[in-house]
Structure 1
Amino acid sequence: MARWSAALALCGFVLLVPRSAPADLGLDVSPAKYEMEASAGQRQTIPITVRNTGADTVHIQVSLVDFTVGANGQYVFLPPGKNKYSMAPWVSLNPREFDVAPNTLTQVRVSVAVPAAASGEHSVIAFFQTRPTRKPGGVSFSERIAAKIYELVPNTLQLSGEVDDVSARTSPEGERYLVGFKNTGNAHVYLNGRIEVKQGSTVVERIEIPKQMLVERGGQRIVDVVGKKLQPGSYTAIALIDYGGPNLSGGEKTFTVR
């Protein structure tokens, strides 16, 4: 497989605060994602708002967990402090346990003390979990809602990544293309791009990859897309991946359809 880079205008790193995440029990936590900036050695506090839009008072317990995102996009949760890029040891929460009456809100203060030697991006998830509620029939329900927090140390972020594998294999639905991407920078990135399939100098197909595929710091991701069925012959699959950094990442694979 050949690897290469093509010049692309530098994309700025934008702070994103998505919409809140609703729950089935009338609980709402916002923001669901927060990207904060604090310099090394500084302390900063941000609020997370918990709203109860239900008819009953709910009891909330707040806890921190680390996480990774696998090559297939699935989350894996870990005890706080286990991830190499965890900010859990820097975080204090107040309050950690509280009641929220119907149609009211409570703000949880998330205080972050950034170590003097910190650089790049660190992260943690805060879980807001309700006390189990017993419903008719003896079934108990508990809701757990996540808020993801990133801490970005200004002037230290490096967006970098590379395509480290491209493969093609025939499937009943069509030609299947697998592209491996490795995040070599020190912050999470989102993947966009396409796969071009050529026969000689002719492009026979362009396939867009799913938009905004998340790759966490130090992580990898497998892009898995299916194109049309190809006639027998020799082809080249070219992956063009935009991860938001100063360069496109690319790779190619020559394969034969029999």
Structure 2
Amino acid sequence: MRTRGPLTTLTAAAFLLFVLLAPALRAEPLRFGISPGDLELVPAPGGTASATLLVMNDSAHRVRFHVQVQDIFLRPGGQLDVLPAGTLEWSVAKLARLTPSEFELDAHQAMPIRVSVTVPPDARGGRYGAVVVAPSPILQAGGARGTISIVIPKLAARLLVHVKGTEVVRGAITGMLAAPRPGNRGADVKIVFRNSGNVHVRTTGELTILNAEGRQLARLPIPEALVLPSSVREFRLAWEAPALEPGAYTVRAVMDYGADALVAGELTIPVRK
């Protein structure tokens, strides 16, 4: 009996929570979108550049939105972290202006947001952030017992700025790893690209597999990627093939990141019986 009392109380509380949540769960879902996903600006030193972000309310009711600029960090695997404004040295948050930054939209209406960035005369390289759009939480009535706040996700467009005439575009493949897959059925490959310049770059590339005689066995595209300055990006590719014969296989990566010359890396995979 001593253990059933608390259990009964917990069950009753959970049931009450479900009853209070039921009206909210039946509410019309909030749908909204933004376009485009990237805003790229190229102001001159001491100048201003602008672009437009479109916010769309696809819901069946009126929604209030808040817009702000925050910092971004791209992890080596490509995941995007949104951080408080001013966290990183390349933050664009204090240089950006949003018009409007708070507004209401009727159902199925859209609002253009003017995004302007003014850089100081001594600015060099790139500045980065995200324009984050968030609706105000909607309070749904939960009967006579109060209200419930619904958690709403945020959407973000990357804000990529580089100061005209100050760009240093430099990068390299700084690491490659490869290992045969189980049963020698191809190989798993990891490529590390480092952006050592002062502006963002977009990379493309190709991976080629050769046998010991130099005959091409496979060509795999390296996914396109955005790499921020002073950052690395890791690419993982899987080459699937029938069981390989013993011998040495060459893995060659060639990448284009917008510079005058391509960059390349190469290694050998020994395959044993």
Flag whether TM exceeds 0.5 (same fold): yes
Where is the strand percentage greater, Structure 1 or Structure 2? 1
What amino acid is aligned across from residue 194 of structure 1 in structure 2?
A: E
The structural deviation recorded for 1:124 is 1.1
In the other structure, the counterpart of 1:19 is: none
Query: In the alignment, is the contact (CA less than 8 A) between 1:135 and 1:141 conserved in 2?
Result: no
Paired residue secondary structure (2:94) = helix
In the other structure, the counterpart of 1:79 is: 84
The structural deviation recorded for 1:204 is 3.8
Distance 1:46 1:204, change over 3 A: closer
In the other structure, the counterpart of 1:238 is: 252
Which of the residues 38, 48, 63 maps onto 2:53?
48
Distance 1:255 1:31, change over 3 A: closer
Q: Which runs of 5+ in 1 are unaligned?
A: 1-23
Paired residue secondary structure (2:223) = coil
Paired residue secondary structure (1:253) = strand
Identity among equivalent positions (%) equals 28
Paired residue secondary structure (1:209) = strand
Larger radius of gyration: 2
1:252 pairs with 2:255: no
Segment of structure 1 superposing worse, 175-184 or 92-101: 92-101
1:38 pairs with 2:63: no
Query: In the alignment, is the contact (CA less than 8 A) between 1:25 and 1:143 conserved in 2?
Result: no
Q: CA RMSD in A?
A: 2.2
TM-score by length of 2: 0.78
Segment of structure 1 superposing worse, 98-107 or 112-121: 98-107
Q: Which runs of 5+ in 2 are unaligned?
A: 1-28, 143-147
What amino acid is aligned across from residue 160 of structure 1 in structure 2?
A: R
Query: In the alignment, is the contact (CA less than 8 A) between 1:40 and 1:118 conserved in 2?
Result: yes
Distance 1:186 1:230, change over 3 A: farther
Where is the helix percentage greater, Structure 1 or Structure 2? 2
How many residue pairs were aligned?
235
What amino acid is aligned across from residue 111 of structure 1 in structure 2?
A: S
Query: In the alignment, is the contact (CA less than 8 A) between 2:212 and 2:247 conserved in 1?
Result: no
Distance in 2 of aligned mates of 1:203 and 1:85? 45
What amino acid is aligned across from residue 235 of structure 1 in structure 2?
A: Y
1:110 pairs with 2:132: no
Distance in 1 of aligned mates of 2:49 and 2:201? 24
Q: How does 1:108-187 map to 2 (within 5 A)?
A: 108-134=113-139, 140-172=150-182, 174-187=186-199
